[in-house]
Structure 1
Amino acid sequence: MLKTLDILLGMTVIMLIASMAVTVLTQFVSGLVNLRGKNLARGLCDLLQQIDPNLQREIAEQITCSVLTHPMISSVAQRLGDTIHREEFVKLLMDLASGEIPKNHSNPLSDEAKQQLMALLQQNGIDNPKDTVDKVRNYALQLELSNPELAANVRHSIAMLTEANSRLVAKVNGWFDQTMDRVSDRFTASSRLVSVLCSVVVVAAIQLDSLDVINRLSMDDQLRDTLISKAFAIDQAQTTAGKAPVLNVDSVKTELNTLQELGVIDVINSGQNWREHWCEVNPIGIILSVFLLSLGAPFWYGALKNLLKLRGSLAGKDDAQRQERQRQQPPKPATQP
């Protein structure tokens, strides 16, 4: 029983290290294609069309792009920001409609988009966007003077409800949180897909055959012992830090080198050798590896901790049973001279 558990522990350590590589790669790809920003832009487009069903999708996308690339929202020019509060969204809509934008704004609205945005605001109770947003900011300033204990978001929310009380604010406040929930769900689904694709890339790159790994762990006592020691080291590091360690390229590279030295994985340097090595791997083992890695590093951290607890419990029982058997054995007869 203990040997089977040790095989599972060794497999868990290997999958945890490989899933670290998947996590780092997933974060890189998600940041590169700006998944958060694109999903947020889609959600805000949906919100604008909910406010005005007659608004063309192209115009809604242009307005959203201008909002999310505003210098106060986006940290990099031309890159969509990935976070915005509802009060910020309403105030930026009014700023864009009234032409109050900084000179370094990379995506100003076209005349047509500005006209349609102005019409949207007027249809929803904001006749003069410039005056309205000025009143909102002045009221927020007065609140800061009179009630400095209030949080900034509370002040801005009160100012918006007081000075811009309109159908626009009612619609945005009524739909914003639900829209952000949908944005979060879509981002999670997109990230999941990217994670699966990155799992395929990592498994293919290191040719991780789970069935071969299990066979090796069942036969190689030294490999099992080394990986179990590694499991205790990882768990101790996590316990000391109080959370899962921060992943970066260097730490993942170090862990993969450890697996390479143990002969668990084989990072082929030559393209020809990499292709030839595919003849030695089991396709089912490769598919299983992709599935296991797609579970994610948090899953394997949890599995590692639970298996270590179970192993400690079983090891204690085995020791107790061994001592009990030794006590029950009859004493050896004394030898005659």
Structure 2
Amino acid sequence: MFGSIIIDVAVGVAFVFLLLSVVASHINDLVARFMDWRSKDLDKHIRQMLSDPNLANKVLNHPLVAGLASKPGRTPSYIPSNTFALTVFDALVPASGNQTVVENVRAQVSGLPDSRMKEVVLPMLVKAEGNLEQARKDFAGWYDESMERLSGAFKRRMMLLSLIVAALITLLFGVDAIDLANNLYKEPGVRAALAGAAQTASKDTTTFNEAVKQIQGGGLAIGWSTLPTDAAGWLKKIAGLLMTTIAVSLGAPFWFDLLRNISSLRGGGSAQATSAEPKK
């Protein structure tokens, strides 16, 4: 009995975190799109990689690259490595008779300002020994490695944004994880209703609207209607708000997967035990 109560509390708390995480995810996406971070970061990164403004402009304005942009005149948010290698080589030495001479590319790279690209690409061209496809393949591999670092930087920025948005949502709705769990533990009706709605929503995302209505009218301990009256109460309140902030920042996919796992324990635990008994 006690175990089922704890599972229902966990399901209810996870479901509230999931709903808040969905809101946070939408806000994060809107901010990232409005700020155009991916496109701006890629533009800046490519210019740093190539270390030559003229070469960078030729590459970014190349039809193969420009055609990937969402709007004319903007840098794409993503450029495949093979496409990037092809456009860089074509910008250095335009193809003649469907063939670009590696030695000519090496001569053009040698004339570029001293940079990381020059240090990396020149040995690649020497190693290729005149094989154009091999040179492009090696260059594309270097580009992929560089994009992994850029992707890591973007993820760190989004993690910071997620934390900020999660904090704002937590404060706006006044969701204290500790009070929420205590409320669900003490109120069987609220706990059962929310756990049932959560279990249904974990199987069918179209029931989210009904689940939100259940939360709004379910008597949950959320909001700012009741405030602590002493220092200990405020410390507990702050701790609960911090827990909610961290939880929401983990993202909707995390809580959706966790909710499905917990819900399976709630819905299938007893059935599994019953079906296993005759086998003994």
One-letter identity of the residue aligned with 1:86: S
SS at match of 1:135: coil
Aligned mate of 1:304, from 259, 265, 269: 259
The reply on whether 1:219 has 2:182 as its aligned counterpart is no
How many residue pairs were aligned?
238
One-letter identity of the residue aligned with 2:143: F
Looking at structure 2, the residues matched to 198 and 170 of structure 1 have their Cα atoms a distance apart, in angstroms, of 41
The percent identity for this pair of structures is 21
Q: Mapping of 1:40-79 within 5 angstroms?
A: 40-49=42-51, 55=52, 66=61, 71-79=66-74
CA-to-aligned-CA distance 1:50-74 (integer Å, 9 cap, x gap): xxxxx4xx66775666469964121
The answer to whether the 8 Å contact 1:207/1:286 transfers is yes
CA-to-aligned-CA distance 1:83-123 (integer Å, 9 cap, x gap): 2123432444466x5xxxxxxxxxxxxxxxxxxxxxxx3xx
The reply on whether 1:86 has 2:85 as its aligned counterpart is no
One-letter identity of the residue aligned with 1:83: Y
CA-to-aligned-CA distance 1:250-287 (integer Å, 9 cap, x gap): x87775444222243767xxxxxx7xx58458222111
One-letter identity of the residue aligned with 2:218: L
Looking at structure 2, the residues matched to 86 and 79 of structure 1 have their Cα atoms a distance apart, in angstroms, of 19
CA-to-aligned-CA distance 1:276-300 (integer Å, 9 cap, x gap): x584582221111001111111111
CA-to-aligned-CA distance 1:9-38 (integer Å, 9 cap, x gap): 111111111111111111111222223223
Q: Mapping of 1:284-323 within 5 angstroms?
A: 284-312=239-267, 314-316=269-271
TM-score by length of 1: 0.59
Looking at structure 2, the residues matched to 37 and 311 of structure 1 have their Cα atoms a distance apart, in angstroms, of 45
Larger radius of gyration: 1
Aligned CA distance change for structure 1 residues 87 and 313 (closer, same or farther; 3 Å): closer
The reply on whether 1:262 has 2:235 as its aligned counterpart is no
SS at match of 2:132: coil
The answer to whether the 8 Å contact 1:22/1:202 transfers is yes
One-letter identity of the residue aligned with 2:153: R
The answer to whether the 8 Å contact 1:86/1:176 transfers is yes
SS at match of 2:220: coil
The answer to whether the 8 Å contact 2:86/2:136 transfers is no
The answer to whether the 8 Å contact 1:34/1:80 transfers is no
- CA shift, 1:233, in A, is 0.8
RMSD of equivalent CA atoms: 3.7
Structure 1 consecutive aligned stretches of length 4 or more whose deviation exceeds 3 Å:
58-71, 90-95, 166-171, 251-258, 263-267, 277-281, 312-320
Aligned equivalent of 1:186: 153
- CA shift, 1:176, in A, is 1.6
Q: Mapping of 1:112-123 within 5 angstroms?
A: 121=92
Looking at structure 2, the residues matched to 182 and 68 of structure 1 have their Cα atoms a distance apart, in angstroms, of 26
Q: Which structure 2 residue ranges, 5 or more long, are not aligned?
A: 101-127, 229-233, 276-280
Looking at structure 2, the residues matched to 28 and 10 of structure 1 have their Cα atoms a distance apart, in angstroms, of 28
The answer to whether the 8 Å contact 1:45/1:64 transfers is no
Aligned equivalent of 1:52: none
The reply on whether 1:173 has 2:136 as its aligned counterpart is no
Q: Mapping of 1:197-208 within 5 angstroms?
A: 197-208=164-175
More divergent stretch after superposition (74-83 vs 227-236): 74-83
